[in-house]
Amino acid sequence: MSDEEDDIILSELDDEELVQQMFDDLYDGLKEEIEEGVNILLERGWTPYDILTKALVGGMTIVGHDFRDGILFVPEVLLAANAMKGGMAILKPLLAETGAPRMGKMVIGTVKGDIHDIGKNLVSMMMEGAGFEIVDLGINNPVEDYIDAIKREEADILGMSALLTTTMPYMKVVIDTMVEQGIRDDYIVLVGGAPLNEEFGKAIGADAYCRDAAVAVETAKEFVARKHNQMSAG
């Protein structure tokens, strides 16, 4: 950051400039600045939902695009996510109070044998930002944990993540169990992780493979809308 940028006083910017500055601060992974920006917008009467979608998700979408295009790399994305997390921590209790729109509920976790949760955490955060309720099972989940959680939580979506080629086949174990129990079609199943691809997703019977967090959000929205349409038609 240049000296000139260091001198920016967030509270002196108008709303449009402030949101633009928050995009830059998210891009640079500046957590404290994001927290300050969120608080300023709240003081100015912005709804938590608008701050989340217009400032935070808007900024992270740019980060996501630049990651996809090879301009940003994992460390920078993690810093940006950490900054967004700071803003989300302020907004989350307020979102619950103000009744922000709910898109659906997703149970998510990394599969048995896999402890790599960076991708899963990014997806969770972006899904929350898009209005989904997230039930995060954490890491290293056996099939029973997934099945129990989707039933208990009456989830719309099951999300499974794996980083290792040795653990990704476990996703099929979970889906096969859902088929055996006759509940496969009750849920949207999304899978993701570095070694996966679309072909793998199809082969194991998932509804979709999601290349990154932004794709996961768009895919989830699409499938949920389709599900609602089917229910209305039925």
Partner 1 sequence: MCPTMTTAPDAFPTDDTALTQDGLAPSGKGRVLLIACGALAREILDIKATNGWDHLDLTCLPAILHNHPEKITDAVRAAVAKHRAAYDQICVAYADCGTGGLLEQACAEMGVEMLGGAHCYAFFDGVTRFAERDEVTAFYLTDFLARQFDAFVWKPLGLDRHPALRDMYFGNYQTLVYLAQTDDAALTAKAQDCADRLGLKFERRMTGYGDLQASVADWAAR
Q: Phi/psi of residue 8, each to 5°?
A: -65, 125
Asked whether the CA dihedral 215, 217, 219, 221 is positive or negative, the reply is negative
Positions 176 through 195 that interact with partner 1 (CB under 8 A): 194-195
CB 3, min distance to partner 1, A: 20
Stretch that binds partner 1, among 16-24, 164-172, 207-215, 216-224 (CB under 8 A): 164-172
CB 198 within 8 A of CB 209: yes
CB of 155 to partner 1, least distance (A): 24
Residue 42, interface with partner 1 (CB under 8 A)?
Answer: no
Q: How far is the CB of 208 from partner 1 (least distance, A)?
A: 18
| Contact window for partner 1 (CB under 8 A) among 10-18, 47-55, 75-83, 223-231 | 75-83
CB of 130 to partner 1, least distance (A): 22
Kindly state whether residue 71 participates in binding partner 1, applying the rule CB under 8 A: no
Q: Please choose, from the candidates 24, 14, 16, 19, the residue with its C-alpha nearest in 3D space to the C-alpha of residue 6.
A: 24
Give residue 22's identity as a one-letter amino acid code: M
- Answer for which of 88, 168, 171, 216 binds partner 1 (CB under 8 A) is 168
| Alpha-carbon gap, residue 202 to 183, rounded angstroms | 18
How far apart (Å, rounded) are the C-alpha atoms in residues 126 and 27? 15
Closer residue to partner 1 in complex, CB, 97/199: 199
Within residues 110-129, the interface with partner 1 by CB under 8 A covers 113-118
Helix residue ranges, H only, 44-113: 48-50, 58-68, 74-98
Residue 81, both tokens: 């996510």
CB distance 57 to 85 below 8 Å: no
Closest CA to 92 of 30, 134, 137: 134
Which range of residues in 42-50, 67-75, 87-95, 181-189 is near partner 1 by CB under 8 A?
67-75
Write out the residues near partner 1 by the rule CB under 8 A.
Answer: 29, 73-76, 78-79, 82, 113-118, 139-140, 164-166, 168, 194-197, 200
